[in-house]
Each structure stands twice: as structure tokens, then as C-alpha cells.
Amino acid sequence: MTVTSVRTPRSSPPSIALIVVAAVLAAVLLVPLGYVVSVVADVGWGTLEPLIFRPRVGELLVNTVLLVVLGVPLTVLLGVGGAWLVERTTLPGRRFWAIVLVAPLAIPAFVSSYGWASAVPSIHGLSGGLLVAVLAYYPLVYLPALATLRGLDPALEESARSLGLGSWAVFARVVLPQLRLAILGGGLIVALHLLAEYGAFAFIRFDTFTTAIVVQYQSTFAGPAAGALGVVLSVLCLTLLVGEAAARGRARYARVGSGAVRAAVPVRLGTLTAPALLALTALGAAAVGVPLASVVRWLAHGSSWSQPELPSALTQTVLLAGGGAIAAMLVALPLAWLTARHPGPLARLLEGSSYVAASLPAIIVALALVTVTLRVLPGLYQTAFTVVLAYVMIFLPRALVPLRAGIAQAPVALEEMARSLGYPPLLARLRVTVPLLVPSLAAGAALAGLGAANELTATLLLAPTGTRTLATQFWSQASAIDYPAAAPYAVALILLSVPAVALMYAQSRRWGAR
């Protein structure tokens, strides 16, 4: 079987039912964006203008923009640098370091912030926010960079070398341009995370739009001032999304030619080995060591494990996040099917709207759902359904990306073969295609579910009365400065995240090796 026959989808027109379902789902996903637009329309520009053009918004804008402008390049530097060291050099213990570098992903940013705040109590403001956020989020660049480096054909670099370029020049002029998609994509995800993060920044007194919206919400519920800040935040997110799409360009990165890619010859680090090891050790200590040491220190505090709420918080987290994971897969399935099997303007539109929806921070999604369920669908107000819906809106891309890849890789020909052997179409699909999708369904569900298990802002605003999740319990203890009581929840959150991180790591290696 050639690569072409696997990849090329049949461009038959999609069924009306598929289009209707996908369009309805995409419309539901756009509710938060609709909320932002309706705030502007409802409240009116007259009320909104003084709430937007005031010095406080200026301060928040400076903080938030600086955070992104400084934070993203730092994560790119750490992510790409780390990936290059473990993938392309003679660094001793490369496999070990490859895992150390991805480990911070298993520590939710607000747990890391708690760890740093208890180790260095004076940490605060932009520098503190940058430190915590960069350490928590650089793996989001590291993983795609690792996958890309692994898949690069060394022949290009060898040609450049034979034409007289030195090692650094080869890296800058040949390797780096090929990492463009990984850097842009990873950078975008980091930037959106920075804009959406609440807990990590609130904890160390760094004000961004998201933390200010939560404070406004706590002072006025879903009032116009919270909405006004939400409008500005949404504009920032959408600007990033459009900017990234424009910066991608139309260049093609696929390798053409026959045969398999050879393994690259590792660059000799020589005298740079010691500094490189030192840098990686420092990074690992700061990103993983400090938060874990703090958690362990508070656990040793004795009273820490007498948390009667822990088992019920664990159950409720698993139920809500599990519901979120299943629902996200069910929503992703028709959207992914449409884009993978029936590509065209319609598919692009629907897919685009799902990414626009997911780029809005959890706080906006939560404000939108509070408002909509309260005013339009009171039956859904403060129900687990609404929490699950919020999780779908926030974490859909995590489900969509692996699923779409899975569908694209499932050969249509196999299904057709089954039908030619007498299976009815539905049975053919269930027996042949669905089993092929199991790994990508599982991957997507795990990633979405683990995102949901760590979710704080939307859960705080939307959860049914009496519901406590690990994240909300952690937050309530940690913000009351009861550090020992928060520690067991931190451990549970970290342990729950480990499988998803292992999965992401395995995936990045597999994609790279493809």
C-alpha cells in the first residue's frame, strides 16, 4: 500500500445529516463568542466604553501583553533548546533528560505556583508570574519540537554543510526554519494558556485580565465590568489565533523523495557538555524539584492527610472529567469525520469555528454559560451537564487533533473491501474503521479528561451546589494559606496527570518517527 492511497480522502460530498449535526455542534461551541458579542450589544457601548478605557484596563493590558511577549520566546528557547539537546547531541543520559524535560506538564500550573510561593514567599508580580508560567508551559513547545526534530531528514543539513555552512549556521538556516510550525503552534498554545491562567497568577499577586475578571465576578457576579474585561481578553485571544495562522505561511515542510529518513549524526557537545548538563539540571530543579519538594514538605506536616473530603473530591473529579472526556469525543467525532473524509470549505469553516471557540479562556466560557443557562435555559443552570459542556468547549481541540489524524490514517479501502465482501455499510464501518480509531479515541479522551480534571475557573463558577473537585478543594485550601491541607490534593492532581503526560510524550515520539 502506498502512502498516497492511505492519505487521500475520497472527496465525496458529505451527507446532509452529517452537515446538520456538525453545524449544530459548531453553533453550540460558538456560544461563548456569541456571549462576548452580546455583552457589547446588550450593555451598549456607552456603558462599556468607560469600563474598557480606564487606567486599570491599561495596567492589565501591560501586564498581560508583557507576559505573552516575554513568556512565549522564553518557552520557545527552553523548549527548542531542550529538544535539540536531547535529540541531536551527544549529551549523556539523553533518554533520562528527554523525560525530565516533559515532566513539568504533569504539575498543574497553580500547583507549581503554590510550590514556589511556599518555597519563596516573596515571589510576586510579573517576574514571579513569568517564572512560574514559563516553567509550567515550556513543554508545550518542547513536545512538538522534539517530534519535528526526530522526523527531519539529516540530508538537508548535510547538503548545507557541504556547501560550507558551520554547525550554528546550519541550525539557524536549515533546522530552525523547519521547526517553524512546531514553534508557532506550540507558541500559540502557550500564549493562550498564559491568557487563560487564573490560579497560578492569583496565587502570587500577578494581575492579568483573567484574574481581574474573576475578582470582578466575585464582586458583582456576571456584571457588565466583568463582561467588558472579557471583551478585551477575547479580542487578545482571537488576535493571537489569526496572527499565528498568518505567520504559518504557505511553505511546505514534507519530505519528498524515496526511501526512509536516516538517523541524524549527533552533534558533539565536547566542552559544552558540562554547561548543558548544568542548565538541564537547573531547569529540572526549578520546574519539577521546587514544586515537588514543597508538596512533600507540607505532606510531612502531619495533619495534612486528615482530609475527609479527599475521597469524595476524587470521585467527583473523575465523574465530571470522565463525562467531559466522553462528551468531547462524541462532539469531536462528527467534526473530525467531516474534516478528514470530506474536506472542503464547509469542513474548514466548521473546524475553524471549533478552534475559535476553544481559544477563548475558561473564564469567558464560564461567564457565558452562567449567563445563558440562567437567562435562557434555567433547567441546566448549576448542573453537571453545564460543567461537562464547558469542559467540551475548553478541551475540544485535545480530542479533535488525535481523532482527525486517526480517521485520516484509517484506509477507506479497508472499509470498502469489507463492503465488497457483503457487509452492510454501517456494519463495515463498525467492524473495520471503528476498531482502527480506538487508539486515537483513547488518546483524545485521555488528554481532554485530564485537562478537565485540572480545570479550576469554569469548575468554580459552574459546579452544582455542594460539588468539590480536587482542583477546587486544592484552591480553597491553598488560598486560605492552609498549605498542609492543600498538599494531598496537589499529590492527587499530579498523580492523575502523569498518564496523560506519558501519553503525550509517547505520541510525540511516534509522530516524529513516522
Partner 1 sequence: MTRRRSRAVLAAGLAASVLGLTACSDDAETDPVAAASDDTLVVYNAQHEQLTEEWAEAFTEETGIEVVLRNGNDSELGNQLVQEGDDSRADVFLTENSPAISLVENAGLLAPVDQATLDQVPEQYRPASGLWTGIAARSTVFVYNPDELTEAELPASIMDLADPSWQGRWGGAPGGADFQAIVSAILDLEGPDATSAWLDGMKDNATVYQNNIATMKAVNAGEVPGGIIYHYYWFRDQDGTKENSGNTELHFFGNQDPGAFVSVSGGGVLASSENQDAAQQFLAFLTGTTGQEILGTGYSMEYPVASGVAANPALPALDSLQAPAVDPSNLNSVEVTDLMTDAGLL
The greatest distance separating any two alpha carbons of the chain, rounded to the nearest whole angstrom, comes to 71
The residue written with cell numbers 466560557 in the block is 365
Helical segments of 197-309, H only: 199-203, 209-220, 224-248, 273-284, 290-299
495: Cβ contacts below 8 Å, ≥ 6 apart: none
Minimum gap (Å) between residue 15 Cβ and partner 1: 4
Looking at the Cβ atoms of 334 and 406, the one nearer to partner 1 is 334
Helical segments of 285-344, H only: 290-299, 310-341
Quick one: 89 exposed, middle or buried, by C-beta within 10 A (0-12, 13-18, 19+)?
middle
Q: Which residues bind partner 1 (CB under 8 A)?
A: 10, 12-18, 21, 51, 54-56, 59, 121-122, 202-203, 205, 207, 212, 215-223, 225, 315-316, 319-320, 323, 326-327, 330-331, 333-334, 337, 374, 378, 380-385, 387-388, 425-426, 428-429, 464-467, 476, 479-481
**Rounded CA separation 330/396 (Å):** 10
Looking at the Cβ atoms of 54 and 268, the one nearer to partner 1 is 54
Looking at the Cβ atoms of 181 and 374, the one nearer to partner 1 is 374
- φ, ψ (nearest 5 deg) of residue 267: -75, 135
Looking at the Cβ atoms of 218 and 281, the one nearer to partner 1 is 218
Residue 236 CB: number of other CB atoms within 10 A?
A: 20
Looking at the Cβ atoms of 287 and 410, the one nearer to partner 1 is 410
Minimum gap (Å) between residue 497 Cβ and partner 1: 21
**Rounded CA separation 339/332 (Å):** 10
Minimum gap (Å) between residue 87 Cβ and partner 1: 39
Looking at the Cβ atoms of 58 and 499, the one nearer to partner 1 is 58
Looking at the Cβ atoms of 78 and 336, the one nearer to partner 1 is 336
Minimum gap (Å) between residue 345 Cβ and partner 1: 18
Q: What is the DSSP string of 85-106?
A: HHHHB--TTHHHHHHHHHGGGG
Minimum gap (Å) between residue 316 Cβ and partner 1: 5
Q: Nine-digit cell at 354? A: 471549533
Minimum gap (Å) between residue 40 Cβ and partner 1: 18
Minimum gap (Å) between residue 290 Cβ and partner 1: 18
Residue 294: CA count within 13 A, CB half-sphere = 24
Minimum gap (Å) between residue 20 Cβ and partner 1: 9
**Rounded CA separation 74/134 (Å):** 7
**Rounded CA separation 355/334 (Å):** 15
Which 3 state secondary structure label does DSSP give 173? helix
Looking at the Cβ atoms of 216 and 507, the one nearer to partner 1 is 216
Minimum gap (Å) between residue 209 Cβ and partner 1: 13
Looking at the Cβ atoms of 127 and 220, the one nearer to partner 1 is 220
Element (H, E) at 462: helix 457-462
What's 117's DSSP letter? H
